[in-house]
Amino acid sequence: MINEAIELFDPVELEKYEIVKADLVTARAHVEGLVVASQKDANRMHNGLATVKRLAAIVEETRKQQVGPLNEQVKALNGTWRPLTDALAALELIAKRKLQVWQQAERERIARAQAAARKAQAEAERREAEALAKAEAAKTSGARDKAMARAGEASQELMQARIAEPMDAPTGIKTDFGTTSTRMVWAFKVANADMVPRHFLAVDEKAIRRAVAEGARSIPGVVIYEEEQLQTRLG
């Protein structure tokens, strides 16, 4: 990948790259190997630090020159496509919502039909059992035949009720264009932020850093202190 990127360098950029790469080896040996135990050592480390800063400035300047136009192209391309991607995303949400509304209504309709069919089945089973019991207890053949006929009618009604019971609502839609399926997933929304446990909260370090920079010196739960930072200016 690096070799592919280097092929994009012009001769001047390639020369800078090779110079920095070579000087980096020397700078690393100097900074990592030097022990600062005297003013002379400190001066030498300062020189090494200045060299590192100089090389970093060359790298950053050259990099920005290279990627600046590319970033502008990326920004322009994204800006061109953004209205289309946003519109398509909005349409996707509308289509999915309409399908979800229909599927929910279909599930409810089927559930009502299933409940009605099962009620009819239970009633037919009750009448069938009642008729069979009467046939069993009949004292005459006529009464027995009449009860058996009623049991047969109830049995037919039971069969029809079972046939009429609809299947569960489908969990997906399949056409020549593709397949859309549904599945249950866990989701959430914050109802009361004050009740959310602490381990789900994140400290806004950017806001704290900004407050400290603006002069805040006391924030509950935060230790504010001074620390020494080196600043190197190239001569």
- Provide the pLDDT for residue 182: 83
Q: Give the helix/strand (H/E) hosting 50.
A: helix 39-137
- Provide the pLDDT for residue 30: 93
Determine what percent of the chain is predicted with pLDDT higher than 90: 56
- List b or e across 136-149, with b for residues whose CB sees 16 or more CB atoms inside 10 angstroms: eeeeeeeeeeebbe
**Across 56-60, 67-71, 95-99, 131-135, least confident range:** 131-135
57 pLDDT higher than 80? yes
Predicted confidence band of residue 142 (pLDDT cuts 50, 70, 90):
confident
- In single-letter form, the type of residue at position 190 comes to V
208 pLDDT higher than 70? yes
Q: 144-192 pLDDT, tens per residue? A: 888 788 888 888 888 888 888 888 877 788 888 888 888 888 999 999 9
Q: What is the mean pLDDT of residues 83-93?
A: 95
Contacts of 100 (CB under 8 A, 6+ apart): 182
- Provide the pLDDT for residue 187: 93
End-to-end CA distance of the chain: 36
- Provide the pLDDT for residue 21: 94
Helix axes 11-33, 39-137, angle to 10 degrees: 100
Q: 183-203 pLDDT, tens per residue? A: 888 999 999 999 999 999 999
Determine what percent of the chain is predicted with pLDDT higher than 70: 99
- Provide the pLDDT for residue 179: 87
Closest among 144, 142, 141 to 133, alpha carbons compared: 144
- Provide the pLDDT for residue 235: 75
- Provide the pLDDT for residue 36: 94
pTM: 0.61
Mean pLDDT of the chain: 90
Residues 200, 203, 207, 208: what is their CA dihedral angle, to the nearest 10 degrees?
A: 160
Q: 93-108 pLDDT, tens per residue? A: 999 999 889 888 988 9
- Provide the pLDDT for residue 2: 62
1 pLDDT higher than 80? no
